[in-house]
Structure formats: C-alpha cells, structure tokens
Amino acid sequence: MLNKKNIVFSGSLVNHRTGKYIVCAIGMQTEIGKIASLLDNTKNRKPPLQKNLDTLSGQLSLLILIICFLVLILQLFVARENILNALMMTVALAVAAIPEALSSIVTIILSPST
C-alpha cells in the first residue's frame, strides 16, 4: 500500500511549488472511482409516504376507470346518447377526476401550521 501522506488525488488543486507525480491507479481504481462505484451500487428506495401515495393513486385510478365505464354504459343504454357524445363525456370525466397536484396537496396538508 502507498504512503498516503504525500499523495495527490485526481481533481486536486496544487497552488504552490511543483513536483513529479506518478500515476498509481486509473479509472474505477482511483478514489473518485471508488466513490462512483459506491454510489452506483446503492439501492434507490422509496420512502413510506411515496409508497402509500403510489398505492393511493393506483386505487384512485382504478376507481375512476370503473366509474367512467359505468357512466359510458349508462349514457349509451339508459340515456340513448350518441356514442361519440358518450365517449367525449367519459373522457372528460376521466381527465377531470384525476388530481394532477396530488403530491402538492399531500405536502400542503402534511406541512406544520405556524
């Protein structure tokens, strides 16, 4: 192992004097490469709140699809609506029902009041 007392690492800035340098490692064997491999091997885990929001949004999407399908069936068979009008109403209902700012709403609700 090298004596790390007088070592200059890649990316270091030398302000004063000159010297001779010997390359001891390149690529992933350098200290910066070791840090990069540690960062590359970390697992990207979601926090519990994000997991709960993903579950909630999945359930909400399924509920919206069921409701939109029921509205489409009611429009076609009970109200005897034109198929194009029924589809337009169903798509409009689906778009309006999905909250775009769900994460913002949760953040505002969970923020401490002062």
* DSSP letter for each residue of 67-111: HHHHHHHIIIIIS---HHHHHHHHHHHHHHHS-TTHHHHHHHHHS
User: What rounded mean pLDDT belongs to the chain?
Assistant: 83
Which pLDDT tens digits describe the chain residue by residue (114 residues)? 456 667 777 777 777 777 777 788 888 888 888 888 888 887 788 888 888 888 888 898 899 999 999 999 999 999 898 999 999 999 999 888 877 777 777 778 877 766
